A and B are shown apart, each in its own frame.
Chain A
C-alpha cells in the first residue's frame, strides 16, 4: 500500500501488547518496524537508525514520553514524532505538539487509525524534507547567482567601457561629430547596463541578507538637501521647480547615510523623469513624537490606480512600449527594501495626469533620556499615509 522506499517506524512503549499489535498492523502495511520497551533504549535506537516515524508512549516508567520527544526532536529532527497516550488531554497534546510532535494517537486505537496516522506522518516527513531541500537549493542558487553576476557579468561591461576609453584616447581627435556621438551613446548604454547589474546585485544582497547598513544618528534635512542639489541640473534643463520646504529642525533618525541618499536621489530623480517641462516638485517634511515623514510630490504624469500596487515590484514598469525613460526597473524596489531595513515605510498616492506623491516614514531615533516609547509598538500612532 505504501510507496517505496519502505518506511521505518520505531515504537517506544512499555506495553508488549501495544508493541506487538502495532508491529503486526504496520508490517502488514509495508513498514519496517523497530521497537523499544523503554525510553533510553528507544532514544538509542532512534539515534542509530534514524527512523522515518517514531510512535512514543507518553506514560512510561523511567524517562517520560515528553522528555523523549524533546530529545528526539533535537537529535533526529527528520523523524516525525507521534505521541501515543491513554490519557489524551488537550493540555498534554498541546505540550507534546509544542515540543515537536506532529500528531497523537489516543489509546485504544484500531489498526486502521494507526495506519492512517502513520500514512499522514510519512507524507509530512516527505514534505518536510522536500521543503528543506528546496530551501537550501534556493539559498545556494541565490548565493552563487550573486557571485556569478558580480564577476561574470560586470567584468565584460567594465572592459567594454575601458575599450571605449582607449578608442577615444587613440582616435578621438579623428572622430567627426556623428562618430563621437555614436561612441558616447554606446558608452552611456553600457553604463546603464552596468547600473542595472549593480541595482540587481543590491536588491539580491538585500534579499539574501548580505547588504550592510552602517546606521548612525542622522538628520534627514541634510540628506534631502544633498539629493536635491544632485537633481538641480536636470531640473534646470527641464525648467522644473524643485522646492524643498523643510523645517529648521527634524528629530534625528538612525540611518545609513549612503543608502538613504540613494533612496532620496532615486525618488526625486523619478519625479524629474516623469514630470514634464515647467512642472513642479515639492519636498516637505514633518514629524510627530515617533516618526519623521518626508513627502515628495510632483506635477508629473501620475500612475494609473490599477498599477499603483505593483510599482515597488522588481522590473515592474508602469508604461509599456511607449516607455521612453531608461531605468533599471529596480529603483523603487531598492528604496522600499532600504526603507524597511530602517523600520520605516513607503507609500504612494497618485492621480493620472496630475502627479504623484511619495511618502517616506522613518521612526525617529529616541535617545534614552528622551523617553522609552518605541515607535513600532505604539498603537496610538498607526501609519496613515493619506
Chain B
C-alpha cells in the first residue's frame, strides 16, 4: 500500500478547516490543519506536505500572501503545488489589490466554498502532473 499524500490546510476558520478536512480525507489524503499563518509555516517545515492550501484572507488582508511567500522561500516549497482560497469578490474593498509581478507562483486560486469534486480534481491534477514530470 502506498503511503497517503499529505496536504496542509491553512485557514483561520475552524469550521472551514473541519469541513474541508472531511472532503480531503474522503479523497484519501492525510490532512494537517493550521489555524494561523505562523503555525502554517512551521507545520510546512515539520510535516513536509505534498500540497498546501492557504486562505488568502486571515486576520489581516495579505497574511495569506505572506504565508505563501515564506513557504515558497523554503527548499521544499519551491516546487510544491500551492493553492490559494478566496472568498473575496472582486468588487469588494480589496478589489484593487493586485499581487506584484514578481509574486510567488500559485498553482490555483479556488473560490470559497469549493465543491468537493472540484477540490479533489484540482489536487489530483497537480499531484499527478508532478509525478509525471
Contact = CB atoms under 8 A, between A and B. Distances in A.
In the complex, which range does the number of interface residues on chain A fall in? 20 to 34
A169 B13 CA distance: 20
B133 to A, nearest CB: 28
A162 B114 contact: yes
Interface stretch (A10-18, A147-155, A235-243, A277-285): A147-155
B98 interface: no
Interface string B59-80: 0000000000000000000000
B129 interface: no
Contact of B23 (A147, A155, A165, A201): A165
A200 B91 CA distance: 13
Interface stretch (A108-116, A205-213, A291-299): A205-213
A163 B15 contact: yes
B93 A159 contact: no
Interface in A161-209: 161-163, 165-166, 168-170, 198, 201-202, 205
Given A165-B113, A166-B116, A211-B91, A155 B13 contact: yes
Nearest to B16: A159
A261 interface: no
Nearest to B20: A162
A166 B87 contact: no
Nearest to B120: A169
A169 B91 contact: no
Contacts of B92: 150, 201
Interface string B90-110: 011101100000000000000
Given A163-B19, A166-B19, A158 B113 contact: yes
B116 A168 contact: yes
Most chain B CB within a 10 A radius of its CB, from A150, A161, A169, A205: A169
B22 A159 contact: no
A165 B13 contact: no
A154 B20 contact: no
Nearest to A191: B113
A154 B57 CA distance: 13
In the complex, which range does the number of interface residues on chain B fall in? 20 to 34
Contact of A205 (B18, B87, B91): B91
A146 interface: yes
B93 A150 contact: yes
Contacts of A159: 13, 15-16, 19, 113
Given A159-B13, A169-B116, A146 B93 contact: yes
A166 B115 CA distance: 9
A212 B95 contact: yes
A42 B55 CA distance: 60
Nearest to B12: A155
B26 interface: yes
A162 B87 contact: no
Contacts of B27: 169
Nearest to B112: A158
Most chain B CB within a 10 A radius of its CB, from A147, A162, A168, A210: A162
A159 B16 CA distance: 5
A166 B20 CA distance: 7
A170 B26 CA distance: 6
Contacts of A202: 91
Nearest to A212: B95
Contact of A166 (B23, B93, B96): B23
A198 B89 contact: yes
A158 B87 contact: yes
Contacts of A201: 89, 91-92
A163 B18 CA distance: 8
Contacts of A162: 15-16, 19-20, 112-114
Interface in A260-300: none
Nearest to B117: A169
Contacts of B116: 165-166, 168-169
Nearest to A205: B91
Contacts of A163: 15, 19
Contact of A169 (B16, B23, B95, B113): B23
Contacts of B19: 159, 162-163, 165-166
Contacts of A158: 16, 87, 112-113
Interface in B9-65: 13, 15-16, 18-20, 22-23, 26-27
10 contacts: A147-B93, A150-B92, A158-B112, A159-B13, A159-B19, A166-B19, A169-B23, A169-B27, A170-B23, A212-B91
The 9 closest A-B CB pairs, nearest first, are: A169-B116, A161-B113, A166-B22, A162-B19, A166-B19, A162-B113, A159-B15, A165-B116, A169-B26
